[in-house]
Structure 1
Amino acid sequence: MQRSNYRSALVVVTTIFFMWGFITCLNDILIPHLKAVFSLNYTQTMLIQFTFFGAYFIMSLPMGKVLARIGYKNAISLGLLIAAVGAVMFYPAARAPSYPLFLTALFVLASGVTMLQVAANPYVSLLGPEGSASSRLNLAQAFNSLGTTLAPYFGGMLILGAAVLGASELAEMSSADRMAYKFQQAQSVQLPYLLLAAVLAILAVVIYLWKLPNFKDQARDDSPTEKVTAAQALRHPHVLFGVIGIFAYVGAEVSIGSFLINYISLPDIGNMSESDAASYVAYYWGGAMIGRFIGSALMQKIRPSLLLGLFAIVAALLTVTTMLASGHTAMWSIVAIGLFNSIMFPTIFTLGIAKLGPLTSKASSLLIMAIVGGAILPVAQGAIADTVGIHHAFVLPLICYLFIAFYGFRGSRVIDPHPSVRDAHAASS
């Protein structure tokens, strides 16, 4: 009976993975759109990702405390509701139109997604044996990638569908016409985000009413013997390196995704419109979806840490290729990285919380906080792109993939914990 209940819970929670993947990937469509509407440079535009992923860093520990109070299932429902409020806030931001209001709406939306990340990732790991947690989380994350695959088509059609005027064309317009044009362009995000808000609100109610395991006791961040701390979790090298690994992975993945449309539309790369380039963003995220299904199967035969290291090496080689090439070789090399990004987040996450007992919840919050890499590294890459061009700015993701390879091959090894932490683990079992 319990196993059947776990199966139904896993099916339901995969829907949540789909939704936050969809939400996150819509940022890749917002970036070129708002860049054109507000005449931003690359560094300014990357404030979209800085705001969105910065929310993970700011809100992870508070959301972790809420999770400890209300349990996993209720935390997922609350996260969906908060995200729905953020999506609704896009309506007044577009009516203004105001870039700071867009960023505020993004922060609220991302705060809800942070709660989903803090709750849903460890929730999946609890829905079965610990030994198959990486495989199970890769399977759930495959549906996250399905969301990121469909979002570019949806967003490209509804947000980037209208032709965007260039800087020279805008300069020839009167001030009133320019304002009217910006208002019209900004309004194109209203319908997609209102629809998104409605879906999120419905899901929040469904999850709240559905009889799913809540795991409230496992969500508590204290043990029978002592209050656990982040410092205790970070004493474990596989947790510390895992935090850095998540920072590097999310930073690399988001940086590449953020620049894809602008990069592929360049004359010496894909030589196409931004609307057409949006479909290649879908290929990038679609590769991640396919890779997660494949990775979930491969992990039945191959050690997850070894597979992680191999995938990171291939991603690094593809990054080098796109930096040294041009035309279709450069374009397909960067798109193909998505296939090898696939297993990285769920595998680093499950390796990072392995064998922690009562420290699991704290380590989970730290790993989710590390998603702030998606806020910091795209801005850094934007600054590099403004200085030396997009092509050579991909050196930043290259460094990230090399660290992830180290984590897979060596840094993820679980070392015997400090005696007091081991005792806490024993007391909880």
Structure 2
Amino acid sequence: MHKKVDRRLLAPVLMGFFIMGFCDMVAPVTSKISEEFSEAQQQAVNFLPSMVFLWFLLLSTPIAALMNRIGRKATAMIGYAFTVVGLLVPYVAGVGSGLEWYFIGFGLLGIGNTAIQVAINPLLATIVPEERMTSYLTVGQIFRNTALLLLAPVMTALSVWLGDWRLLLPIYAGVTILGGVWLQLTSVQEPERAEHTVGLAECFRLLGNRTVLICTLGVACFIAADVGVGFVSGRLIDNPNSIFTITGYYACRIVGTLLGAWILTRVVDVKYLQWNMLLALAMCLGLFFVKADAAVYALAGVLGFTMACVFATFYAVATKSALDRTNEVAGLMILAISAGALSGPICGALIRAVGYSQAGLIWPTLCVCYLLWAATVLKRKSDRKKI
């Protein structure tokens, strides 16, 4: 008998995916923030995305352990609270304030987003059928990518009409408050809570499961590549509106998630992942050589399309390989997101060392190479199960 989807709960949970996207804005807006500071501070500015993703490394498994005790909904509410404060801190500090206020605010944003991602992903997995988990997690990514798609148009509109792109921060804080209230007012039937907390060692013991290990590293490389593309894309075009490269990237991600949600009901998820990673590698290599603005927009868009279903596939494959440890799997998957902290410093260092922006693409290209290898390994494993 197939499990039915609780559509009453689905909407507020998908709203949580939209709010997840707020931490992903840090890499694209770094180029805007850098305009406020001197040349001597530019290297420090490059570490702003790291301030967000650092907390995924430090807190994901402890939060997963806490979630076993207090439940997924309560954990998400804690995340919403930190996210609101984190968004408001740099805005309240005001234009011309010290760089430290951005670090504090984005640090709190990272803490909040860690809690949200640890809670919302398994919450969605709870209310959908196991055989359609990848498809529904892909739908969740549509909402997350929409938050990124709107980033450049909203920032541009705020700059032109009101003279300050930073108004984006209180707007996102207000959306987060609405999402938290909506989820709080929704009655959630959660799995029975554990009587004991799960330690860090128990979470890491799951890495003895080869599938979980491959998927965890896959999520790490996906996030590192995604943040790297966000960091570099706005620098590939010498144009005041170059941030719109990320709009095209995420617009095509949404197209990819919509199409992927349909395709994944008909095609094995790891097989579809392999196809996409082959195309992603070709797009990464192409961006090294194209110069025309239109070509950069086009290749970045296709790259966004190929990255649409990566997280959902790895998360679902790992969860299905350890169905009795879903909270711990969630902790590991979200811990892997901390790899995004590496992208800003590494891409910035590559650009400074070589002297041109395309050099920053070396890092995301290497990450895509791993994703292609992981997809190939998981596909072979899936094929053997069918025999």
Decide whether aligned partners of structure 1 residues 97 and 146 sit closer, same or farther in structure 2, where only a CA change above 3 A counts: same
Decide whether aligned partners of structure 1 residues 291 and 79 sit closer, same or farther in structure 2, where only a CA change above 3 A counts: same
1:137-180 residue CA offsets vs partner (Å, 9 max, x unmatched): 10111111111111221123325x49xxxxxxxxxxxxxxxxxx
Q: Which residue of 1 aligns with 2:85?
A: 85
Q: Which residue of 1 aligns with 2:38?
A: 39
Q: Percent identity?
A: 18
Cα drift, residue 81 of structure 1: 1.6
Aligned-partner residue type, residue 9 of structure 1: L
Q: Distance in 1 between matches of 2:289 and 2:197?
A: 48
Cα drift, residue 109 of structure 1: 1.1
Q: Distance in 2 between matches of 1:314 and 1:218?
A: 43
Cα drift, residue 200 of structure 1: 1.4
Q: Distance in 2 between matches of 1:304 and 1:218?
A: 31
Are the counterparts in 2 of residues 9 and 212 from structure 1 also a CA contact under 8 Å?
Answer: yes
Q: 1:319 aligns with which of 270, 284, 295?
A: 284
Q: Distance in 2 between matches of 1:80 and 1:96?
A: 27
Are the counterparts in 1 of residues 83 and 109 from structure 2 also a CA contact under 8 Å?
Answer: yes
5+ residue gaps, structure 1: 163-183, 267-271, 417-429
Q: Which residue of 1 aligns with 2:187?
A: 211
Cα drift, residue 317 of structure 1: 0.4
Are the counterparts in 2 of residues 31 and 48 from structure 1 also a CA contact under 8 Å?
Answer: yes
Aligned-partner residue type, residue 273 of structure 2: L
1:325-344 residue CA offsets vs partner (Å, 9 max, x unmatched): 22132442123211111011
Are the counterparts in 2 of residues 249 and 400 from structure 1 also a CA contact under 8 Å?
Answer: yes
Q: Which residue of 1 aligns with 2:306?
A: 340
Q: Distance in 2 between matches of 1:219 and 1:75?
A: 17
5+ residue gaps, structure 2: none
Q: Distance in 2 between matches of 1:373 and 1:16?
A: 22
What does 1:383-398 correspond to in 2, within 5 Å? 383-388=349-354, 389-398=356-365
Q: Distance in 2 between matches of 1:397 and 1:227?
A: 29
Q: Which residue of 1 aligns with 2:156?
A: 156
Aligned-partner residue type, residue 328 of structure 2: K
Cα drift, residue 42 of structure 1: 5.9
Decide whether aligned partners of structure 1 residues 142 and 201 sit closer, same or farther in structure 2, where only a CA change above 3 A counts: same
Q: Which secondary structure state, in structure 1, belongs to the residue aligned with residue 110 of structure 2?
A: helix
Are the counterparts in 2 of residues 238 and 414 from structure 1 also a CA contact under 8 Å?
Answer: no
Point out the structure with max Rg over C-alpha. Answer: 1
Decide whether aligned partners of structure 1 residues 306 and 81 sit closer, same or farther in structure 2, where only a CA change above 3 A counts: same
Cα drift, residue 103 of structure 1: 0.8
Matched, 1:199 2:175: yes
Decide whether aligned partners of structure 1 residues 227 and 76 sit closer, same or farther in structure 2, where only a CA change above 3 A counts: closer
Q: Which residue of 2 aligns with 1:234?
A: 207
Decide whether aligned partners of structure 1 residues 227 and 368 sit closer, same or farther in structure 2, where only a CA change above 3 A counts: closer
Aligned-partner residue type, residue 187 of structure 2: K
Q: Which secondary structure state, in structure 2, belongs to the residue aligned with residue 55 of structure 1?
A: helix
Q: Distance in 2 between matches of 1:379 and 1:361?
A: 31
Matched, 1:366 2:332: yes
Greater alpha carbon shift after TM alignment, 53-62 vs 336-345: 53-62
Q: Distance in 2 between matches of 1:415 and 1:234?
A: 22
| TM-score normalised by L of structure 2 | 0.90
Q: Distance in 2 between matches of 1:319 and 1:196?
A: 31
Matched, 1:60 2:60: yes
Aligned-partner residue type, residue 74 of structure 2: N
What does 1:120-139 correspond to in 2, within 5 Å? 120-139=120-139
Greater alpha carbon shift after TM alignment, 397-406 vs 72-81: 72-81
Decide whether aligned partners of structure 1 residues 3 and 415 sit closer, same or farther in structure 2, where only a CA change above 3 A counts: closer
Cα drift, residue 215 of structure 1: 3.0
Are the counterparts in 2 of residues 42 and 386 from structure 1 also a CA contact under 8 Å?
Answer: no
Q: Distance in 1 between matches of 2:145 and 2:370?
A: 23
Q: Distance in 1 between matches of 2:313 and 2:194?
A: 21
Q: Which secondary structure state, in structure 2, belongs to the residue aligned with residue 157 of structure 1?
A: helix
Q: Distance in 1 between matches of 2:107 and 2:195?
A: 25
Q: Which secondary structure state, in structure 1, belongs to the residue aligned with residue 253 of structure 2?
A: helix
Cα drift, residue 212 of structure 1: 2.4
What does 1:405-420 correspond to in 2, within 5 Å? 405-411=372-378, 413=381
Greater alpha carbon shift after TM alignment, 53-62 vs 282-291: 53-62
Aligned-partner residue type, residue 214 of structure 1: E
Cα drift, residue 45 of structure 1: 2.7
Decide whether aligned partners of structure 1 residues 323 and 79 sit closer, same or farther in structure 2, where only a CA change above 3 A counts: same
Decide whether aligned partners of structure 1 residues 42 and 373 sit closer, same or farther in structure 2, where only a CA change above 3 A counts: farther
Decide whether aligned partners of structure 1 residues 216 and 386 sit closer, same or farther in structure 2, where only a CA change above 3 A counts: farther
Cα drift, residue 62 of structure 1: 2.5
Cα drift, residue 393 of structure 1: 2.4
Q: Which residue of 2 aligns with 1:293?
A: 258
1:365-418 residue CA offsets vs partner (Å, 9 max, x unmatched): 1111111111112311110011112112212111111111111121474899xx
Q: Distance in 1 between matches of 2:207 and 2:109?
A: 29
Count of equivalent residues: 379
Matched, 1:24 2:42: no
Aligned-partner residue type, residue 49 of structure 1: P
